[in-house]
Amino acid sequence: MSIFVDENTKVIVQGLTGGQGRFHGLRNRDYGTKIVGGVNPAKAGTDVEGIPVYGSMAEAVKATGADASFVVVPPKGAGDAILEAAAAGISFIVCITEGIPAQDEAFFFNTLLRDFPGTRLLGPNCPGIISPGKCNIGITSGDIALPGGPVGIVSRSGTLTYQALHELSQQGVGQTTCVGIGGDPVPGTSFIDCLAEFEADPETKAVMMIGEIGGSAEEEAADYIKASMSKPVVTYVAGVTAPPGRKMGHAGAIISGSQGTAQAKMAALSAAGAIVCQNPTEAGEKMVEVVKGL
């Protein structure tokens, strides 16, 4: 099985008529994802290579029965797009937009929790999600993913998400679902959310988790792994050489003193029983060993 999305997921692209929305929306469609519409009030009634464009999310959902959306709009409008999708009844929203202010993220994250508890947000500032052979929402290249499982992947880093997929696929190890949660300070979906889904998925037999410096998400995930995970978890934390106090890439990747360092995260994960690796390639090699032993 896959988590969050599958071959039956119907997707509306919010921003389909823009350059990035068109490129990635059509790319997702070509992969086999059911892209059933786009939204642009100024271009309602038109289409993008046969994909109809609607004037609002409410109209699009009513016409298509969509249950997911792909938000590809600039930072200023991303929050409104997310909340519009939730109000229209969308249950899964993927937002790849980078550069949204943290206070805006906190506002729409908490609004979703309060007013739309049935809606899950992935991102923002993330590569999206791919269930190989079934559904791809976001910017991940489908040709580096291998269908069939048994590995689930969850990662804060987009680039390392791609490397994990590619290295496992090269070794003939398939993936059930790969989730890029993004590295912003207020992610809509956490490590723990994904770990819980993978633990409950009968076709996912092992999990690869890729973290990075900053925040406490990895330590919280370590507590969850220790208490609730029966499946092997292979981990890698990026940023071992990052100096304290310096922002490294993602907005969430900043450490203060001894808090949020790669070393502290690695120690917590190791103590929780996870297999901790020193680099992405080692993580791939360890996962191949784990799968062989299943």
Q: Which residues are catalytic?
A: 250
Token couple for 3: 């988590």
User: Is the dihedral angle over the CA atoms 22, 23, 28, 29 positive or is it negative?
Assistant: positive
Dihedral of alpha carbons 43, 48, 50, 53, sign: negative
b/e code 53-85 from CB counts within 10 Å (16+ = b) = bbeebeebbeebebbbbbbbbeeeebbebbbbb
Residue 150, preceding peptide bond in cis (omega within 30° of 0): yes
Amino acid at position 75, single letter: P
C-alpha span between 34 and 7 (Å, rounded): 8
Q: Are 214 and 255 in contact (CB under 8 A)?
A: yes
What SS3 class is residue 254?
A: coil
Which residues, other chains included, contact 56 with Cβ-Cβ below 8 Å and sequence gap of 6+?
39, 41, 84, 88
Q: How far is CA 232 from CA 117, 143, 165, 173, in A?
A: 30, 26, 17, 15
The full length of the chain comes to 294
113, two tokens: 């929790």
